[in-house]
Chain A
Amino acid sequence: MKLFSRFMPSSGMRQVPKSVTIHAVLLAYTVIALFPIIVVVINSFKERRAIFRDPLGLPDSSSFTLVGFEQVLLRSDFGLYSWNSLVVTILAVGLVLLLGAMAAWALTEYKFKGNLLITFLFAMGIMIPIRLGTVSILSLMVNLNLVNTLTALVLVYIAQGLPLAVYILSEFVRTIPKELTEAARCDSVSEYKIFFCVILPLLKPAMATVAVFTMIPIWNDLWFPLILAPGEETRTITLGVQQFVGQYVTDWNSVLSALTLAIVPVLILYTIFSRQLIRGLTSGAVK
């Protein structure tokens, strides 16, 4: 009951039915969201036959096997793929955050010619999926000699993530009181220092939100690695997994094991950012 009451709104017992409904809905959503992940994880520990016989059953002593993990870890370049994914994701997210915050700050704080046009272009960027430009991106990368490099992926992902980042961060920049920057200007702080020492720290919670939004699609992307960086050296994890998916035979143990392992790093990153996110929310609540 004590545990239960912790989740209750403070206004007392009348709220119970409402609270139960809300939690039921949230719980249902959680189950739906977690179901495929759980299926992947439990099946990665089962024998191939057991996977097809009883996809939802937990591994028991007869069906338990680590053959998939062995296959992935020992007989493929799983380490390299993960490293590639990690490098691409971290670089892209980091640059999206930095450039996004700078652009958001510039577009909201400074009045200059073309301000509205640039804002409009960023808004267009949110609406138009970047994959529509795949062909021209590919030919551009070929011309730049960037095919089969991680740089190509990082650049594309920055372009993909930036519009939404600018949009979200602009909204947050607008909530920062103008007096703060003016006080800093009176304190003879340069515009760069104002951005890095005053604005950026205040944007942390917003940036955590943006980081989460930006990170997941990049980590999970198969499209651009397949097109821009399919080489053995530059494969990301999602692309790496594909080698176990054959036209006639699919090594399900390996696929599921690789996917299970692929969840781990992104989970860690998410935890880091979401902590920052929650901390930001609570610190902002008290004015």
Chain B
Amino acid sequence: MASVKLNNIKKRFGDVDVLHGIDLDIKDGEFVVLIGESGCGKSTLLRLLSGLEDITEGDLYIDEERVNGRSPAKRGIAMVFQSYALYPHMNVFKNMAFGLKISGKDKAFVNNKVMEAAKKLKIDHLLERLPRELSGGQRQRVAIGRAIVRDPKVFLFDEPLSNLDASLRVQTRVELGKLHQELKATVVYVTHDQVEAMTLGDKIVVMNKGRVEQVGAPLDLYHHPKTQFVAAFIGSPKMNFLTAKISQPDPENTQLVLESGRVVQACVDTSSLNKGDLVQIGIRPEHIALECEHNTVEGTVTLIEHLGELSYLYIEIGQEGEMVLKVDGDNQHQAGDKITFGIQPNRLYLFDHQGKALTRVNAHTSAAIPL
């Protein structure tokens, strides 16, 4: 196991800059998730770490050693691909043993290693099968097993769960989490699924257009997003955004006016801004409460999505557009209902015109729905 350090890593394909200088510190045994929209460069970054792609500029250290230009094999990494990339003509055992055999390890050692990994992953009864005779979940385990047997310093996962169906994905996700606790391995994991990121990661790296937008622990990103992009990216359904004008800048209690003229209070430090500046108010759907007396807004329900334990209400609020509310599943509202809801001032987020978050004061960080 090892630490990984990225120092101003850049990648250029021809004239196109894909990564614009990535700095990142990954501690020994840490589970780091790279997340971002497709095309943000997260998979490219993983490929740079693996050595399958050359680093254009910057330094990469694995275990304090600069590994730029070294082949994947010599970096001590193991990669699990989205498509599993199992050798179709080899059975499960051979797939897992291939790398070890090639590097000249003796037979007993290879057998031991493979059996050990197979037991850990509960695929020891499948060793004679060919990949095409396995289900998606089983193939996924074999791919992970192939990585484990090599005792790599760093595990790299490239969207390993996205080819699985929903229920299997949840199950495998849990198993991956347990496996990480057991192996105590350094892991870099790429995904576009924020649930995977939140549940698996010790640290999440949110990427946007080839830059790191924010690095932090899952709850850190949820409660204290540094930019509007991160705020929108983390959390489901997405954070609601409303445009507002500052009517009273204040270091603690800012007063804002929505386009419709409604006045809103927010516990955010806006002392750096001026009266009349435009800002975006961010409101998480789960923080809106139907019985709240603060910052009340009226609207018409346009659509309800029932998920069982909770429901999503889509509400038209006039000029400002549409908002999503997360409410209790037993809620009896119907499309067309007029409702009033509110949100506590310490639940609001504000973002300036560049999308930078303004500091929240007395921020409410508990995830429970306030009353």
> What is the interface of chain A, defined by CB distance below 8 A to chain B?
177, 179-180, 182-190, 193, 197-198, 201-202, 283, 286-287
- B102 within 8 Å of A by Cβ? yes
- B327 within 8 Å of A by Cβ? no
Docked CA distance A211–B211 (Å): 51
In the bound complex, do residue B87 and residue A188 qualify as a contact, i.e. CB atoms below 8 Å apart? Answer: no
Chain B residues whose CB sits within 8 angstroms of the CB of A190 once the complex forms: 102
Docked CA distance A164–B220 (Å): 60
- B109 within 8 Å of A by Cβ? no
Docked CA distance A179–B159 (Å): 13
Docked CA distance A286–B89 (Å): 13
Chain A residues whose CB sits within 8 angstroms of the CB of B77 once the complex forms: 186
Cβ distance A185 to chain B, nearest Cβ, rounded Å: 5
Chain A residues whose CB sits within 8 angstroms of the CB of B89 once the complex forms: 201-202
In the bound complex, do residue A186 and residue B78 qualify as a contact, i.e. CB atoms below 8 Å apart? Answer: yes
In the bound complex, do residue A179 and residue B87 qualify as a contact, i.e. CB atoms below 8 Å apart? Answer: no
Contact of B87 among A185, A198, A283, A286 (CB under 8 A): A198
Chain A residues whose CB sits within 8 angstroms of the CB of B74 once the complex forms: 188
Can you report 29 A-B residue pairs in the complex whose CB atoms are below 8 A from each other? A177-B83, A177-B85, A179-B81, A179-B84, A182-B72, A182-B81, A183-B81, A183-B85, A183-B146, A184-B87, A185-B51, A185-B52, A186-B50, A186-B52, A186-B99, A187-B73, A187-B102, A188-B73, A188-B102, A188-B103, A189-B98, A189-B102, A190-B102, A193-B102, A197-B98, A198-B87, A283-B132, A286-B132, A287-B132
Residue of A nearest to B52 (CB): A182
B42-53: CB near A (< 8 Å → 1, else 0) gives 000000001110
- B321 within 8 Å of A by Cβ? no
Docked CA distance A183–B102 (Å): 13
Known contacts: A201-B89, A286-B132. The answer to whether A187 contacts B146 by CB under 8 A is yes
- B308 within 8 Å of A by Cβ? no
Instruction: Give the contacts of B9-63 with A (CB-CB under 8 A).
Output: 50-52
Cβ distance A135 to chain B, nearest Cβ, rounded Å: 46
Contact of B72 among A188, A198, A202, A283 (CB under 8 A): A188
Cβ distance A71 to chain B, nearest Cβ, rounded Å: 49
Can you list the 8 inter-chain pairs with the closest CB atoms, starting with the nearest? A188-B73, A187-B99, A179-B85, A183-B85, A201-B89, A179-B81, A186-B72, A186-B79
- B71 within 8 Å of A by Cβ? yes
Chain A residues whose CB sits within 8 angstroms of the CB of B88 once the complex forms: 202
Docked CA distance A185–B51 (Å): 9
Count of A-B contacts judged by CB separation below 8 Å: 64
Chain A residues whose CB sits within 8 angstroms of the CB of B113 once the complex forms: none
In the bound complex, do residue A179 and residue B99 qualify as a contact, i.e. CB atoms below 8 Å apart? Answer: no
Chain A residues whose CB sits within 8 angstroms of the CB of B98 once the complex forms: 184, 187, 189, 197
- B150 within 8 Å of A by Cβ? yes
B77-108: CB near A (< 8 Å → 1, else 0) gives 11101111111110000000011001100000
In the bound complex, do residue B132 and residue A187 qualify as a contact, i.e. CB atoms below 8 Å apart? Answer: no
Contact of B150 among A184, A187, A201, A287 (CB under 8 A): A187
Cβ distance A182 to chain B, nearest Cβ, rounded Å: 5
Docked CA distance A202–B98 (Å): 16
Known: A188-B73, A188-B103, A189-B102. 17 other contacts (CB 8 A): A179-B83, A180-B85, A180-B87, A182-B52, A182-B79, A183-B79, A183-B85, A184-B98, A185-B51, A186-B52, A187-B98, A187-B99, A187-B146, A189-B98, A201-B89, A283-B132, A286-B132
Contact of B85 among A182, A189, A286 (CB under 8 A): A182
Docked CA distance A139–B81 (Å): 55
Chain A residues whose CB sits within 8 angstroms of the CB of B84 once the complex forms: 179
Cβ distance B194 to chain A, nearest Cβ, rounded Å: 25
Cβ distance B174 to chain A, nearest Cβ, rounded Å: 25
Residue of A180, A182, A202, A283 with most partner-chain B CB within 10 A: A182
Chain B residues whose CB sits within 8 angstroms of the CB of A184 once the complex forms: 87, 98
In the bound complex, do residue B73 and residue A185 qualify as a contact, i.e. CB atoms below 8 Å apart? Answer: yes
B327-342: CB near A (< 8 Å → 1, else 0) gives 0000000000000000
Docked CA distance A67–B218 (Å): 91
Residue of A nearest to B149 (CB): A187
B104-146: CB near A (< 8 Å → 1, else 0) gives 0000000000000000000000000000100000000000001
In the bound complex, do residue B87 and residue A186 qualify as a contact, i.e. CB atoms below 8 Å apart? Answer: no
Residue of A nearest to B103 (CB): A188
In the bound complex, do residue B132 and residue A188 qualify as a contact, i.e. CB atoms below 8 Å apart? Answer: no
Docked CA distance A283–B99 (Å): 25
Docked CA distance A95–B87 (Å): 25
Docked CA distance A130–B79 (Å): 47
Docked CA distance A65–B87 (Å): 57
In the bound complex, do residue A188 and residue B99 qualify as a contact, i.e. CB atoms below 8 Å apart? Answer: yes
